[in-house]
Structure 1
């Protein structure tokens, strides 16, 4: 379903129509959060950026934003599936998917690794 149509229907009906919430496949390099000094802090988080049409489709389909405008999702990379939140990113014009240490270890992901993730909205 077109992202603009899904947003219009959600606004008109008060919820996303049945079947409008799908899965999205995203691909990109994993990057490490840098502190204000430009250096990664100990325990810094790793992220995958979600932008473009996929980001718009997620925004249109999301009906229950959580804290700070985040959206609950179920994410899968390789053989690892977990529940997490996407965080809005003004800089990216989309979302950030955090990759916790257990996921990176299981899938052998380091900074710069090109990954493919499947996302689905979760409640």
Structure 2
């Protein structure tokens, strides 16, 4: 399963013990699609990836990268971290509505 998931989501800031992170949170249909991909991966390979994550190819604007999305709340939400490099390249800041796409790989 490698269906592209597109969404426009707010860029959020989260302050952790080791620093500040920027992220977007997939919910609803997008989260269900990511959870289904994780379940299919577990069935096919007999195990989950680290922290239940799903590898994805991500794109915001013209910037593309490979990363992982991580489940929250029993896979009803999935978190995509957005690096400073991507934020600089796309002139993003906290609170911006970000049009993005992820493709599970």
Deviations 1:73-102 (A, max 9, x none): 010000000011101111882100100110
Task: Give the alignment's Cα RMSD to 1 decimal.
Answer: 1.9
Which consecutive segments of 4 or more residues in structure 1 shift more than 2 A? none
How many residue pairs were aligned?
A: 98
Larger Rg: 1
Contact 2:70 2:80 in 1 (8 A): yes
Distance 1:71 1:92 in 2: 11
2:32 aligned partner: 56
Q: Which runs of 5+ in 2 are unaligned?
A: 43-47
Structure 1 stretches lacking a partner, 5+ long: 1-19, 36-40
Partner of 2:10: 29
Give the C-alpha shift of residue 21 in structure 1.
Answer: 2.5
Higher relative contact order (CA 8 A, sep 6+): 2
